[in-house]
Amino acid sequence: MIAAFLETAAPRGANVVLALEIVMGIALLLGAWLARKRRFRQHAWCQSTIVLLNFAVVAAIMVPSFRAHVLPRIPAKLGKAYYALATMHGALGTITELAGLYILLSAGTSVLPEKLRITKYKLWMRSVLGLWWVVLLLGMATYTRWYVPHLFRK
Amino acid sequence: MFIAGLAAALVLGIGVFGTGRKGSVTRAQQTTSATEVKIDNFSFGPVTLTVPVGTTVTWTNRDDIPHNTVSTDDPKIFKSKVLDTDEKFAFTFSKPGTYSYFCSIHPKMTGKVIVQ
């Protein structure tokens, strides 16, 4: 996997973010398994840490990159895979992260008023986990399109 | 026997000499006097460009993904915006020297302009 990273044209930061996101995706699955085993405290810690860590990565690295490289070219260049993949990843990723934060606030704190809190936890959590993995796969596709030479050429 | 040895030495000599010339041709091709650098398939071409003082060098992105051109000097002598397909960036080199540059989106893409 490290050798595959070195063969791409990606800067080190992009490689670190990709590795981190893959680890976070796997950790979320592990967190879901903890809930199935009824170890809810560990489940809460695991999922909350990942949602907050991802928020930091998105705010510090992904949003500035998106603003610099993608935002000035959309919607005009959305027909190109380079921009379309990044835009889909960004849009769906924002919804997923916000949903994750909402679950965290609703289930883990008493910040939200009673009527705004979730009642169907399982449905929300499973939906966000599914969306998270769709976003992760879109992120991998974006990385591939941005940094892997020859892949889309004959 | 002596003639055979001489012939073998000549053949080997030509072989070695030939290899040396091939190497110098390759180097010559890399240092053309063209004033355009094409960006394609995650690389700058030619990688090294030699130009006289006062030349305007134009980088054209022929790749299907965005790239840019940023000098490695500090402070930056030149820095293009992000160039989409078929977009260009030009810079005039008014002082002699060796100017290394790279694509900040794909930092492994590097090139050099030698101004004489």
Helix (H, G, I), strand (E, B) or coil at A148: coil
Interface check B105 vs A, CB under 8 A:
yes
- Tokens representing B3 are 């003639």
pLDDT of res. B5: 42
Helix (H, G, I), strand (E, B) or coil at A145: helix
Q: How many whole angstroms separate alpha carbon A53 and alpha carbon A33?
A: 20
Domain B33-115: state its class. Answer: mainly beta
Interface of B with A in 43-62 (CB under 8 A): none
Q: How many whole angstroms separate alpha carbon B100 and alpha carbon B69?
A: 10
Going by C-alpha positions, the residue among A11, A5, A8, A1 that lies closest to residue A61 is: A11
The ipTM value here is 0.74
Partner residue facing B84 (CB), from A73, A145, A149: A73
Question: Where in chain A are the domains?
Answer: 2-147
pLDDT at B15 over 50: no
Helix (H, G, I), strand (E, B) or coil at B44: strand
Q: Are B61 and B87 in contact (CB under 8 A)?
A: yes
Helix (H, G, I), strand (E, B) or coil at B114: strand
Higher pLDDT, A10 or A30: A30
Question: Where in chain B are the domains?
Answer: 1-30, 33-115
Reported as a single tens digit per residue, the pLDDT across B40-79 is: 989 999 999 999 999 999 999 999 899 999 999 888 899 9
The CA R_g of chain B, rounded to the nearest whole Å, is: 20
Q: How many CB atoms lie within 10 A of CB A5?
A: 16
Partner residue facing B108 (CB), from A9, A73, A146: A9
pLDDT at A76 over 60: yes
Q: What is the pTM of this model?
A: 0.77
Dihedral sign from CA coordinates of B11, B17, B22, B23: positive
Helix (H, G, I), strand (E, B) or coil at B10: helix
Q: Averaged over B80-87, what is the pLDDT?
A: 93
What whole-number percentage of chain A has pLDDT above 70?
A: 93
Phi, psi of B15 (to 5 degrees): -60, -45
